[in-house]
């Protein structure tokens, strides 16, 4: 990882094109803006290629997509691969319905995604490993989370992040763990969606995708810890969201260096 990429994003101001989950575009757009990126949301297929040409990264969130939107997602992914722009997939609740599973597997079969970001239940579905899951919840499966993430990364030849109490990040070879966290981050609907898009932003400036994923995880989790500390860890998700955006906007490499808790699984 290179924590100086935190400052580099603010210098470069990378454009991140998002096919967004309609539940969370406000959080994603404001979070990207806070870290120094420039978010664009699109729901129009005719502009997809043009947007990707000017973009620095593309993020596909499949959490609330209609079949009518499949041509748009296909065009965004096709253009991202064509123009060699980092492409991130968030397979929200892939195990909940056959429709969601078919959509995500179709995208992964047709296009190369540089990063997949999900909870352990979602990543296990993609890896073909049995893990009890429900909706957007991570589920209650038992097993080696690092092995699940590594298997998924090997299967799709990319970097995979599973976020939770501990974030596991793998490029198929090594598995890096990020232990920074607060109970208030999962209290915010869309905190995972935000991480996926922040990964896109860092992928636009980092030397390699694994570095981008680790740095993005650290930035969000450390900002969450600092925000929660100001609330004395009380269960105040509304206040926490405001503090979180403030902390993202003011995060420095030095702050992350002081707080970060990383290891290898």
Q: What are the pLDDT digits (tens) for 171-205?
A: 999 999 999 999 999 999 999 999 999 999 999 99
Sign of CA dihedral 195, 198, 202, 203: positive
Q: Give pTM, 2 decimals.
A: 0.93
Q: Are the C-beta atoms of residues 156 and 116 closer than 8 Å to each other?
A: yes
**262-264 vs 175-178, strand pairing mode:** antiparallel
pLDDT tens for each residue of the chain, 265 residues long? 899 999 999 999 999 999 998 899 999 999 999 999 999 999 999 999 999 999 999 999 988 888 999 999 999 999 999 999 999 999 998 989 999 999 999 999 999 999 999 999 999 999 999 866 544 444 555 568 999 999 999 999 999 999 999 999 999 999 999 999 999 999 999 999 999 999 999 999 999 999 999 999 999 999 999 999 999 867 888 899 999 999 999 999 999 999 999 999 8
Structure tokens at 210: 């694994």
Other CB atoms within 10 Å distance of the CB of residue 18: 27
Sheet architecture: strand order including 15-19: 38-41, 15-19, 57-61, 87-90, 115-118, 159-162, 167-170, 175-178, 262-264
CA geometry: angle 98, 28, 67, nearest 5 deg: 30
CA distances from 53 to 10, 48, 132, 239, 256 (A): 21, 9, 40, 38, 32
pLDDT tens-digit profile of 73-91? Answer: 999 999 999 999 999 999 9
């Amino acid at each position: 990882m290179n924590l100086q990429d935190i400052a580099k994003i603010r210098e470069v101001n990378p454009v991140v094109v998002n096919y967004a989950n309609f539940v969370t575009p406000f959080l994603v757009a404001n979070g990207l803006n806070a870290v120094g990126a420039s978010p664009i949301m699109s729901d129009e297929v005719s502009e997809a290629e043009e947007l990707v040409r000017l973009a620095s990264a593309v993020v596909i969130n499949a959490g609330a997509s209609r079949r009518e939107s499949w041509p748009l997602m296909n065009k965004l992914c096709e253009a991202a691969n064509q123009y060699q722009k980092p492409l991130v997939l968030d397979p929200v609740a892939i195990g909940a319905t056959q429709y969601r599973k078919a959509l995500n597997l179709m995208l992964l079969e047709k296009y190369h995604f540089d990063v997949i970001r999900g909870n352990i239940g979602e990543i296990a579905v993609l890896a073909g490993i049995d893990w009890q899951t429900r909706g957007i919840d991570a589920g209650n499966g038992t097993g080696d989370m690092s092995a699940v993430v590594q298997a998924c990364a090997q299967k799709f030849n990319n970097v995979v992040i599973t976020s939770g109490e501990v974030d596991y990040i793998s490029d198929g070879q090594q598995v890096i763990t990020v232990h920074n966290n607060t109970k208030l981050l999962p209290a915010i609907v869309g905190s995972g969606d935000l991480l996926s898009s922040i990964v896109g932003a860092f992928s636009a400036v980092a030397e390699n995708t694994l570095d981008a994923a680790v740095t993005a995880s650290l930035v969000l989790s450390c900002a969450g810890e600092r925000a929660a500390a100001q609330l004395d860890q009380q269960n105040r998700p509304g206040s926490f969201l405001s503090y979180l955006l403030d902390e993202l906007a003011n995060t420095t490499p030095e702050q992350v260096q002081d707080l970060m808790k990383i290891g290898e699984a």
